Every structure is written in C-alpha cells, then in structure tokens.
Amino acid sequence: QPLSKLDALSQRELDAAVAADAATAAQVRAAQAAVRTAELNLGYTEVHAPIDGVMSRAQIRIGGLVTAYTTLLTTVYQTDPMYVNFSIGELRLLQLQRELGRPPDQRNPSRRAFHVLLADGEEIQTPARLDFIDAAVDLKTDTLAVRLAIANSKQLLRAGQYVKVSVETAAPSDALLIPQRAVQELQDKNFVWVVGGDGKAQQRDVTMGPRVGADWIVEMGLAAGDTVIVDGVQKLKPGTPVDTAQQPAVAKRPS
C-alpha cells in the first residue's frame, strides 16, 4: 500500500498482493485448526477409566481398527465396594415390613446386619449394608429386587460371582419347626404328610418361613401337636396306614 501511494505499484498489483495475503492467512488458520484436531485425536488414543477397578481381557490388539462409540475395547469392573443383587419374595417382604413397622426403602433402610457367604461357606467379615430396594414387585416372579453394598478390600468377590446372603431377623415368639426333609414341593407349592386321627396319611398344604439350621419354620398349615411324617414320604398316598413313633411337632424358639 505505501508503494501504491507513491505510484510505484499499480492498483492491480496491489489487489493481487492483498488477495494473496488473505489466502495465506486463511491457510495458516486452517493449518492451526488441523493441529488442534490432531492434538484432540491424539488425546483420544488414551482411554482413561472413570472408575477404579480390574480390567477384563482386551478385545482389540495394538494397530486394530476401532470405531468411536461402537467398538468395545474391554470391560472395567469395580471391585471395592462390590454390590450383591438378589430378590426377596412378596411374603417375606410383608413379614419384614411388619417386623420393622414400616416399609423398607432407601429412606428407611433396615438396620439389620446382612452377611455374605462365599461358595465354600466362609463368611466375609465385613457386614454388608442395604444399598437399594426396587420400587415395584416383579409380576413374573412375585419378588422384589434388593441390592447390598459390601467392602471388598481383600478382593474375595468378583463380578458375576454367586454368594449366599443371610440376615438377622427377630426370632418369632412362638415358632413351629419341622425338619426340612419332611417338606415336599410340587408346582411351587409346599406340602407335608401328617398322620390323621384314623392313623392314615393325609397331605397338608403348608406355608413355609425362614430356615433355621436343618429345620424350617411353618407359618401356616400345621398346629402344635400335629404328627408330621418325616421318613418314607415318597411312598405315601392319601389314606395309607402309617405306623409311627409319635413325635408331635411342638412350638419352639429358633436359636
């Protein structure tokens, strides 16, 4: 432009120089944008897990082609704390609610201690705490989903592992116990064989409660003094004469 004012440069040459300068500046901006894009893409080559845990087997080898949001690289499992998912029956839920005097939910969780047992029967020393109770009963199974949280600093638990859960409940003031082997199951119903007043076998439908050692609490269907047949039940039919050693079921307090 100074040369143009001195008539040392034609207007045409000035316009060409200005256009070339603008084009060069645009190329610089495009190159800078390409650098930023390359830096961003380079950052995507490092994947940082959002949680602490253990990584499963890698699904892609170095140099493999991956597509954003579609290719699974691996799976990271949180290990501490761990969550134990299980379901409780609708009847047990009602019992727990009556026992607590209120519905068990996240705002009013049960204060009872939950114990988690491994496959070999060993109990994890750290007690679990109630973490989640579903809001609705599953119509297909008549059960309610429950989740416990438990510390796993010793890494005894792994994702997908099966465990047993026990919970301390209030002992019934007057519970009726029978041996578990006396209870038969048929089409999701429980029944036992009892000796009627005529000395013959009768089938009796029963509603069972929690297990206590080798016994089972009977909630409905039997009364103290009923004679329950424990052995040889597979051969029984209604009306079969029975010779028994009288051992009437009596009300007991579970230990």
- Widest CA span of the chain, in angstroms? 134
Per residue of the chain (255 residues), give pLDDT as tens.
Answer: 565 555 656 777 777 878 888 899 999 999 999 999 999 888 877 778 888 888 888 888 888 888 878 888 889 998 889 999 999 887 777 777 776 666 666 555 556 678 899 988 888 888 888 888 888 888 888 888 989 999 998 889 998 899 998 876 665 667 788 888 889 888 778 899 888 888 888 889 998 877 777 788 888 888 888 888 888 888 888 888 877 765 554 444 443
pTM: predicted TM-score of the whole model, two decimal places: 0.53
Torsion angle defined by CA atoms of residues 195, 200, 205 and 210, in that order, rounded to the nearest 10 degrees = 30
Cα 50 versus chain centre, distance = 21
pLDDT given at position 250: 46
In terms of Cα–Cα distance, which of 67, 75, 32 is closest to 51? Answer: 75
The Cα–Cα gap between 220 and 218 comes to: 6
pLDDT given at position 83: 93
